[in-house]
Amino acid sequence: MTRPEIELSWKRSKLSGVEPEFSGFADLPVVEFDPAGRLVEAAAPVLDRMAGALAGTAFSLLLADRDCRLVYRWFDDPRFESALETLGIRDGASMAEEKIGTNALGTAIETRQGIVVHGAEHYIEPFKAFTCYGHPIRHPVTRRLEGVLDITGSSPAMNPLLAPFLMRAAEDIEQRLLDQAKASERALLAAFQSVSRQRRAVAAVGDDIILSNKSALDLLSPADYAVLRMLTDDLDRGARSTDLTLDSGVVVRAHLARIAGAGGGTLFHFAPIESRSARPVRLTPRRDIETTMRTGPVLIAGARGTGRSTEARRLAREDMVEFRDCADIAVEGEQPWVKRLRERLGQPIGTLCVENIDLLPEPPVGILTDAISAGHGPRLILTSSPLSELAGAHAALAAVCLHRVEMPLLRNRGPELAAMAERIVRELDPTARIRLLPSVIEVLAAQPWPGNLHELKAVLAHVVQRRHEGDVTVGDLPAPYRVASRVRRLSGRERAELDAIIEALRRHNGNKLKAARDLGISRTTLYARLKALRITDGGLSIS
């Protein structure tokens, strides 16, 4: 008779679309991880002792992180290692139930309990030759799941001593995690207590702890704490201040300062400024842009999907804005499209937004330039690709727009992402009563987002289709978006450097010598930075 916990695991595996005859190990994604991370560091001496005790038994040791990615493997029998390698069981591979079905690592993560999975109890055929023992590892203070430890062997026979042996080892790792945390958490607590009685809002953010005084509790929502973690990751060292729009719409000036001895812990002070919604970075001040809307054109530049059309509607304010997309020339034909444009330019009412001027053939570009010079006709808003990508007549047209808005890439708008995601969810389904947990906001903010807002909308549409109410967890996201990429782990300076290098390579069609000259560095230095930032010829390499 099948045990209840195994039966439930099989149901979860089937619902995730895993096939019992699964053979797609070669296609399993391998995700980059830090080999010197906190979990591996805490587990290292315990794993060494376990390896010594298991020598000669033909068993193997596996350690996975909280996302069920393998971060450590040890094999007593090289043939067993070779067999698992053939199955794709390698460092960075996911052992989650939703990927490969019932197994001691993935099922222990799901149930948050120790488990033994005997040969035939595995969901997929290739694992039925193994017996596995898995036990979760929790942080003793936060009780947050940190990972899972596994002993696997090829013998179908159950060894009653392995489960308690594994449990004791997991407890030893948990104790070492506690020892690691004590010193940094004491420093974090001391820094917070020294300022927490102030009237202004104060919060301290550490790896596993967030401390807030009463003023901060009244001011901050769960989504805001996710933003604080992003700002902490971006703080190279020392202190800085930044203006931040909170989930409530209140705008505050946040002062961040690293706490000495707190392992990256950061202290926040908040001073309210005013209530407004988040806005993109502008090359011209907002007041000047909205004043000049009555007298001159505005250019909104940025990559596709960064919200250029939305910003055009916002700038038009009370006007009904009419859109003419240069991309439609390919369907309508140049002459009919240009004729309609001329007719509209001759009507001095309302606001006209001409989108994607970089796609406009050069001859008609002069029509817009002449209209701007004449100063007649409707209010004009133009949108284009980033300014650095414009050339020739298109660059000249952009130059006569003295007021410009540069729309940042979505991956550089982490602090705004919670508000943007909430707005998109309301647009997708006004009746949805869901809440994006801070952990979801953190994971979303860590994505590279090559498709910008269009891609984010597609991801949230996936979520809304599957959940109509309650808390949205990381497991509700599409599978490729459940793991944070390396982009967000870069500091703010490194991300700026990354963008500059990618842009230089794009300008010179991948020619590294010319890109290095453009950047004012040697080719040797460029190669070193390419390797450090994991940039390939296709851009950013994301495992």
Q: What is the 3-state secondary structure (H, E, C) of 185-210?
A: HHHHHHHHHHHCCCCCEEEEECCCCE
Q: Crossing angle of helices 162-195/38-54, nearest 10°?
A: 160
Distances (CA, A) of 373 to 293, 295, 315, 368, 383: 15, 11, 21, 9, 18
Do domains 4-180 and 196-275 share one topology? The answer is yes
pLDDT on residue 339: 93
* Mean model confidence pLDDT for the chain: 83
Is pLDDT larger for residue 409 or for residue 180? 409
Angle between helices 222-234 and 417-428 in degrees, nearest 10: 140
Residue 348: the pLDDT is 84
| Residue 424 amino acid letter | I
pLDDT tier, 509 (very low <50, low <70, confident <90, very high otherwise): confident
Asked whether 94 and 115 are in contact (CB, 8 A), the reply is no
- Residues with Cβ within 8 Å of residue 107, at least 6 apart in sequence: 5, 9, 97, 115, 117, 134
Class of CATH domain 196-275: alpha beta
The pLDDT-based confidence of 57 (bands split at 50, 70, 90) is confident
> Which tops the pLDDT comparison, 460 or 22?
460
Pairing type for strands 210-212 and 201-205 reads antiparallel
Q: How far apart are CA 95 and CA 98, in angstroms?
A: 8
Q: Per-residue confidence at 144, pLDDT binned at 50, 70, 90?
A: confident
Question: What is the spatial distance between Cα 172 and Cα 63, in angstroms, rounded to a whole number?
Answer: 14
Can you give the pLDDT at residue 275?
Answer: 46
218-475-102 Cα angle (round to 5):
140
pLDDT band for 239, please (50, 70, 90 cuts). Answer: confident
When pLDDT is averaged across residues 156-181 and rounded to a whole number, the result is 86
Would you say residue 542 has pLDDT above 70? no
**Does pLDDT of 527 surpass 90?**
no
Q: Over the stretch 312-364, which tens digit does the pLDDT of each residue have? A: 888 877 567 889 999 999 899 999 999 999 999 998 888 899 999 999 998 88
Residue 227 has a pLDDT of: 81
Q: Scan for tokens 């817009």, then name that residue.
A: 368
Name which residue leads in pLDDT, 238 or 185: 185
Amino acid, single-letter form, for residue 454: H
Contact 474, 482 (CB under 8 A): yes
Contacts of 343 (CB under 8 A, 6+ apart): none
Closest among 175, 128, 167 to 149, alpha carbons compared: 167
Q: Which CATH superfamily is domain 4-180 in?
A: GAF domain (3.30.450.40)
**Higher-confidence residue: 273 or 300?**
300
**Which residues, other chains included, contact 186 with Cβ-Cβ below 8 Å and sequence gap of 6+?**
none
Q: Predicted confidence band at 14 (pLDDT cuts at 50, 70, 90)? A: very high
| Most confident of the ranges 29-43, 223-237, 384-398, 436-450 | 384-398
CA distance 340 to 326: 12
Report the pLDDT value the prediction gives residue 358, as an integer from 0 to 100: 93
Is the full-model pTM beyond 0.95? no
Residues in CB range of 145: below 8 A, 6 or more apart:
66, 109, 112, 136, 137, 138
Q: Summarize the confidence of residues 480-490 as an average pLDDT.
A: 60
- What pLDDT does residue 158 have? 67
CATH architecture for residues 410-487: Orthogonal Bundle (1.10)
| pLDDT in the model for residue 498 | 74
What is the four-CA torsion angle of 99, 103, 108, 114, rounded to 10 degrees?
A: 180
- Residue percentage of the chain with pLDDT more than 70: 88
8 Å CB contact between 174 and 139: yes
Q: Which of the four CATH numbers 1.20.120, 1.10.10, 1.10.287, 2.60.40 does domain 490-540 have?
A: 1.10.10
Cα–Cα nearest to 191, from 138, 259, 134, 97: 259
Measured between alpha carbons, how far is 285 from 403 in angstroms, rounded to an integer? 9
pLDDT at 115 over 60: yes
Tell me: the pLDDT tens digits for 266-291?
999 998 875 444 445 444 444 444 44
- Picking from 191-200, 283-292, 481-490, which range would have the lowest pLDDT averaged per residue? 283-292
CATH architecture under which domain 286-406 falls: 3-Layer(aba) Sandwich (3.40)
Percent above pLDDT 90 for the chain:
32
Read off the pLDDT band of 520 (50, 70, 90).
confident
Indicate the helix (H) or strand (E) that contains 419: helix 417-428
- Per-residue pLDDT tens for 423-438? 899 999 999 888 888 8
Name the residue ranges covered by the structural domains of the chain.
4-180, 196-275, 286-406, 410-487, 490-540
22-26, 39-43, 402-406, range with the lowest pLDDT: 22-26
In DSSP notation, 35-90 reads: TTSHHHHHHHHHHHHHHHHHTTTT-EEEEEETT-BEEEEEESSHHHHHHHHHTT--
Helix (H, G, I), strand (E, B) or coil at 160: coil
- Is pLDDT above 60 for 491? no
In tens, the pLDDT along 366-410 reads: 999 888 888 878 889 999 999 888 989 999 999 988 888 989 888
pLDDT of the residue at 26: 66
Question: What is the reported pLDDT for 321?
Answer: 81
Render the burial of 487-526: b for 16+ CB within 10 Å, e for the rest: bbebeeebbebbeebbbbbeeeeeebeebbebbeeeeeeb
Judge whether 131 and 157 are in contact, CB under 8 Å: yes
